[in-house]
Structure 1
Amino acid sequence: MRKEFAEKCRILAVAGIIASGILTGCGKAQESETGRETVELVWYQLGETQKDADLVLRKVNEYTVDKLGVSLQIISIPGGDYTQKMQTVINTGSTWDLCFTCSWANDYLQNANKGVFLALDELLEDTEMYQNIDERFWKAAQVQGSIYGVPSEKELGNMPMWVFTKEYVDKYNIPYEELHELEDLEPWLEVIKENEPDVVPLYITKDYTAPTYMDKILDPVGIEYGDDTLTVKNVFETERMKETLRTMRKYYQAGYINQDAAIASDDKAVKRFVTKGDGQPYAELIWGKDLGYEVVTSPIMDTSITNSSARGALTAVNAQSSHPEEAVALLNLINTDEYLRNLLNYGIEGVHWERVAVSEAEAEKAKGKPYIYDTRVKLIEGASRNYSVAYWVQGGLFNTYVLENEPLDKWAVFKEFNDASEEAPSFGFDFDVEPVSTQAAGFRTVLDEFGKALYTGSVDPDEYLPKLQEKLETTGIQKVIDEMQRQVDEWKETR
C-alpha cells in the first residue's frame, strides 16, 4: 500500500500538481497564505540558529509549497549539544519528520538499529537522487540490509592531511608535497624551532588524534587498512601506533609541540607551521579563509572509505512520521534542484550573496559537463554572517555553487576524488555491540583518561601505554575483540 501511495506522490510531485485533497491523506494539512493546503515537515538540524533563518525559510517555503505542497519548520541545535538534545527529542516522543544524523553525532547506526529511523528503500527506488548519488554512499547507509537515511553526497573517504602555513613553506623552500608520514616532518620542525621563535612548529589540540592506519570500528578496536585477512586488533597493540606515540613524545620533548596540547582548544591567533586536519579536495581554501592566511596541504595516507567516513552526513526520516512520502520527496527536490539547494546553502540571492561573473572561456569549458556550474558566489559582507549554515547538513554538495575564490570544477574534482578512493577491507561491516555492551561502555572512560595525553606526546608512552592497556584489559577489551572477530568472520562469508 505504502509503495503504491509513494509512487502516486512522487509522480504528482515531479509534475508539480499535488492536490490538497491528496496531501490531507498524506499527513496533517495546514492552509497557506494562498489558501492552498500544505503539509508542514519538522526538520531538526545540527548548527547554530541563524539571524536570518526565518527570512530564508519563508523563501524556501514559497518554493516548496509551489513544487510539492510542503512547507518546512527547521529547528537548529548547536553541534556540542546536538546528540544529547536529539536523544531527548527522540525519547520523549516529540513530533518531528526529519533529522540530521551521522557516524559522529546523533549516531546513525544506533538509531537505525533501535527503530528510530524509517527504512526508506521503497520510497527511494524511483527517485532521481537515488540514481544520482554514488552507490557507495547508499551501501554505507544500509543497516541490516535496509537504507535509513539519505546521504549528503560529499567526500567519501577518510583523508587526514598535514596543513602547512604557506608563508613558512615559501620562506624555507619546504618540499611539503613530499611530507606524508609523521616522521617526515622532523627536519622541518627543527628548522622552524631554530629560526621562528614565535611559531609553534607542530600545533595540536585536545581533539588531535595521532595518524591511525586503521578503521577503528569501535575505538580503540578495529581492522588495519589494507588487511585483507580482516584481523581485529586493539590499535594500541599495533607496532605502527606504538612507534607513532614514541615519535609524538620525542617531538613534545624537543619543544616542537605546544606544551598545553592535551588541554588546548583551537586558537586561531596561534602562529603555527603545521597542524593536522581531516581533509578533502580544496580544503586548504576553507582552512585558509578561516585562519586568515594561505595554507597548503599534503595527505598523510591513502584515502580509505569506511562506514564511518561514508556516513559523515545523512538525513533520516522519523519512523513515526505521518508523512514519510512528502519527506522523501522534499529530500529528492533538495538534492536535485539547483535553485533550492543554493537557497538553503547560501541564503537569498541579492541579500546574502551575489553572482560573480566568469570568463567566457571558463563558461565554455563548463558547458554541459556534470558537476560544473557557470556560477560563482560572492558573499555579501555583513549580511552573509546572518545566514551561514553548515553546507553538508541539508543535502549534497555537488549542486551547490562554488565561492568566488574556488575553481568552477571543484565538485568535478570531488567526484574524481571519490571515484579514485579505495574501500577499506572492512567497508560494509557493522558491529553489533549488544553482546559486549557492558565491556564496550567502559572504553570511553579509559580513552578520556589516557588518550589525549598519549596522542599529544605529553606523557611517556613506555610508561603510560601499559597503564592504558591494563585498564582496557580490566574493562574487557579481549571479549570485544573476540566478539567482533566472530561477527567479521560471519560477515566475510556473506560478502
Structure 2
Amino acid sequence: MKLKKMVMLGLVAAMTVGSLSACKAKETATSKNDNEVVELTWYQIGDRQKDADMVIEEVNKYTAEKIGVKLNVINVGWGDYNQKMQVVINTGDKWDLCFTCSWANDYLQNSQKGAFLELDDLLKKEGKEMYDIIDQRFWNAAKVGGVTYAVPSEKEIGSCPMWVFTKEYVDKYNIPYQDIHNLEDLEPWLQLIKEKEPDVVPFYLTKDYSAPTYMDKIQDPVGIEYEDDTLTVKNVFETEKMKSTLQTMRKYYLAGYINRDAATASDDKSVKRFVTKGDGQPYAELIWGKDLGYEVVTSPIMDTQVTNVSARGAMTAINKNSEHPEKAMALLNLINTDEYLRNLLNYGIEGVHYEKENATDEEVEACKGKDYIYDVKLKYNEEKRKDYSVPYWVQGGLFNTYVMVNEPLDKWAVFKEFNDASKEAPSFGFDFNLDPVSTQVAGFRNVLDEFGKSLYTGSVDPDEYLPQLNKKLEATGIQDVIDEMQRQIDEWKKTK
C-alpha cells in the first residue's frame, strides 16, 4: 500500500492474494467494452525465464478479468534482440507491443520510419492515468517530431556516471571518496593504492570503458557539450576536455595505475580493484556490491544530465498495424498504475518466488509524508529466484514496485528526488535526422572501434593516435555530419 499518508502496519500480511488484488490494485479508467478476451503478443528483451509460463498464467488470469487481455510474451536474448526486431518489423510479422529504447531496437529510427503507432489520442483515453503520474520529461523525450510513439518506463531519467570504490580500501586508508569527482581527483589515491596494495589494480578498466564525456553525443562522436547554451556542434575528440582527459588516462596507464589489458579485457570479478567507473543511479552501489560480492561506495563524476538518450532508456511501443491498439494501451496503463500486476510481472508469484515482510514501525515513521512508499518489503526465495529474474524496467515503471529487504523503504522517493534534481542538457529534446548524412555516419563505427578502446583506456599515446583518429573521421565525412547537425539544431532552436 502506498503511503501517501500514514498507513497501519500489518495490513498487507492480513490480506489474501485475492483481497490484495481487490483492495490494493488501483482501478483503471478503462473497462472492458465487451466480453471478448484478446491475446496481445509482446516482444521483450532478455532471456526467457524458467518460470515465465507460470507467472504469465497468473498475469493472464488477472488481466483477462480486468481489461479482457491475455499476453503472449516472446523473450529475445540480449545479443539477438536488435537483429530479431529488425526482421519482425521489416517482414510484417503480427505483434502488438515491443521493448524499444535509445540503445536497443532503436526508438528514434523506428518511429521515423513508421513502425510504431502514434499514441497521443490513445493516451488521452486508455492511457490517461499513467500519463498523469509519469514525469512529464519522459513524455517530452518520447515525442519524435511532436508525436508520441512509446510509453516510457519511469525510472532514473538522467545519465549519472560514477566512480565505484571498493569500500575495504576506502575505509582502510580513510579516503574522502565523496570529494572525488573529476578524473584528476583520483591521482593521489591511485598512487597510494599502487604503493600500499601491490595485489590491487588501482584503476580497473575493461574494453567497455569510455572515458568521462562532458557532452551529449547525439550521433557519436558528434554532439553538444553539456554547458554549451550556444548549441555549437562539435567532434568530441576535438574538444579541450576530451584532449585533456585522454592525456590524463595515458599518464595513469604509464604510471601502472590501469591494468595493462584494459583495451581488450572483459570484466573479471575476481580481480581486486580500488576504483572503476559505472553508469549509476540512486543505490546503485547495492546492486554492484551484491554482484561483486563485497561492499562498494560511489561518487558522481559530474552533474546528472537529462538527454533524449537517457530519458529514452526503456520504453514500450505499439505496432502501427496492431489489431488491438486500444487493448494494448489499456494494458500499459494497467501495468503502470496497478500495484498487484506490476509486482507480479516484476518479481513473480508471492509464496513461490518471494515472501513479504512488514516494514518496521521506525521505517514507516521515517517515511511519513513521502510518495512511492510501501509498508512491506520483499524477500526472495533464493532457490526459486534463478527461475524468474527479469530486467525490471522492461515491462513498466519502477515506482509502483516493492523494495527488497536489503533496500531502504524510501528507495523510490529518493529516485524521484534524483530525477527532480537532474539537469536538462541544452540539447534535450533535439532529434537528429541522419538521412542526409547516413553514409558518412555509417563510417564512424569502424573508426571508433579501431581507436576508441585504446585511447579511452590510456593504452596508446593520444599525441600519436588522436590525430590518426580525427584524420580517418574527416575521411568519412565528419564535417558533413557536423554541418548538417548544426543546420538542424539551429532550426530546432527557433521552436524552443
TM-score, normalised to structure 2's length? 0.93
The one-letter code sitting in structure 2 at the alignment partner of 1:180 is H
Task: Find the counterpart in structure 2 of residue 6 from structure 1.
Answer: none
Q: 1:19 aligns with which of 34, 37, 54?
A: 34
Task: Find the counterpart in structure 2 of residue 275 from structure 1.
Answer: 276
Task: Find the counterpart in structure 2 of residue 102 from structure 1.
Answer: 101
Task: Find the counterpart in structure 2 of residue 27 from structure 1.
Answer: none
Task: Find the counterpart in structure 2 of residue 415 from structure 1.
Answer: 416
1:215-230 matches, cutoff 5 A: 215-230=216-231
Task: Find the counterpart in structure 1 of residue 348 from structure 2.
Answer: 347
The one-letter code sitting in structure 1 at the alignment partner of 2:123 is L
CA contact (8 A) 1:366 1:373 kept: no
What is the root-mean-square deviation of aligned Cα atoms in Å?
Answer: 1.2
CA contact (8 A) 1:16 1:66 kept: no
Task: Find the counterpart in structure 2 of residue 356 from structure 1.
Answer: 357
Task: Find the counterpart in structure 2 of residue 264 from structure 1.
Answer: 265
CA distance in 2, matches of 1:231, 1:90: 36
CA contact (8 A) 2:29 2:129 kept: no
User: Is 1:488 paired with 2:489?
Assistant: yes
CA contact (8 A) 2:41 2:74 kept: yes
1:170-319 matches, cutoff 5 A: 170-319=171-320
Q: Deviations over 1:212-257 (max 9, x none)?
A: 0000000000000010000000000001100100111111111111
Identity %: 74
CA contact (8 A) 1:51 1:387 kept: yes
CA distance in 1, matches of 2:145, 2:358: 48
The one-letter code sitting in structure 1 at the alignment partner of 2:481 is V
Secondary structure of 2:488's counterpart equals helix
CA distance in 1, matches of 2:232, 2:457: 27
Q: Deviations over 1:184-238 (max 9, x none)?
A: 0011111111111211111111111000000000000000001000000000000
The one-letter code sitting in structure 1 at the alignment partner of 2:372 is Y
Task: Find the counterpart in structure 2 of residue 57 from structure 1.
Answer: 56
Q: Deviations over 1:280-327 (max 9, x none)?
A: 011111111111111000000001100000000000001010001000
Count, aligned residues: 468
Task: Find the counterpart in structure 1 of residue 425 from structure 2.
Answer: 424
User: Once structures 1 and 2 are overlaid, which stretch shifts more, 473-482 or 85-94?
Assistant: 85-94
CA distance in 1, matches of 2:494, 2:29: 42
Structure 1 residue 361: Cα displacement: 2.7
Q: Deviations over 1:95-119 (max 9, x none)?
A: 1100000000110000000000001
CA distance in 2, matches of 1:114, 1:135: 25
Task: Find the counterpart in structure 1 of residue 37 from structure 2.
Answer: 38
Please list every run of 5 or more consecutive structure 2 residues that lacks an aligned counterpart in the other structure. 1-26
CA distance in 2, matches of 1:13, 1:247: 55
CA distance in 2, matches of 1:285, 1:67: 36
CA distance in 2, matches of 1:103, 1:397: 18
Q: Deviations over 1:363-382 (max 9, x none)?
A: 34445632111111111111
CA distance in 2, matches of 1:220, 1:13: 44
CA distance in 2, matches of 1:13, 1:156: 25
Q: Deviations over 1:137-166 (max 9, x none)?
A: 000000001000000000111100000000
Q: Deviations over 1:351-405 (max 9, x none)?
A: 0011122112323444563211111111111101100000111100000001111
CA distance in 2, matches of 1:407, 1:456: 35
CA distance in 1, matches of 2:137, 2:444: 30
Task: Find the counterpart in structure 1 of residue 80 from structure 2.
Answer: 81
Structure 1 residue 17: Cα displacement: 4.5
Structure 1 residue 69: Cα displacement: 0.7
Secondary structure of 2:79's counterpart equals helix
Secondary structure of 2:281's counterpart equals coil
CA contact (8 A) 1:204 1:258 kept: yes
User: Once structures 1 and 2 are overlaid, which stretch shifts more, 164-173 or 77-86?
Assistant: 77-86
Structure 1 residue 90: Cα displacement: 1.0
TM-score, normalised to structure 1's length? 0.93
Secondary structure of 1:356's counterpart equals strand
CA contact (8 A) 2:305 2:422 kept: yes
CA distance in 1, matches of 2:269, 2:390: 20
The one-letter code sitting in structure 2 at the alignment partner of 1:290 is D
Secondary structure of 2:43's counterpart equals strand
Secondary structure of 1:89's counterpart equals helix
CA distance in 2, matches of 1:253, 1:352: 49
CA contact (8 A) 1:366 1:374 kept: no
Task: Find the counterpart in structure 2 of residue 32 from structure 1.
Answer: none
User: Is 1:145 paired with 2:146?
Assistant: yes
Greater RCO between the two (CA within 8 Å, min separation 6)? 2
Task: Find the counterpart in structure 2 of residue 119 from structure 1.
Answer: 118
CA distance in 2, matches of 1:381, 1:13: 34
The one-letter code sitting in structure 2 at the alignment partner of 1:276 is K
CA contact (8 A) 2:28 2:334 kept: no
Structure 1 runs of 4+ with >6 Å offset = none
The one-letter code sitting in structure 2 at the alignment partner of 1:14 is A
Task: Find the counterpart in structure 1 of residue 446 from structure 2.
Answer: 445
The one-letter code sitting in structure 1 at the alignment partner of 2:29 is V
User: Once structures 1 and 2 are overlaid, which stretch shifts more, 192-201 or 130-139?
Assistant: 192-201
CA distance in 2, matches of 1:15, 1:229: 45
Task: Find the counterpart in structure 2 of residue 25 from structure 1.
Answer: none
Structure 1 residue 486: Cα displacement: 0.4
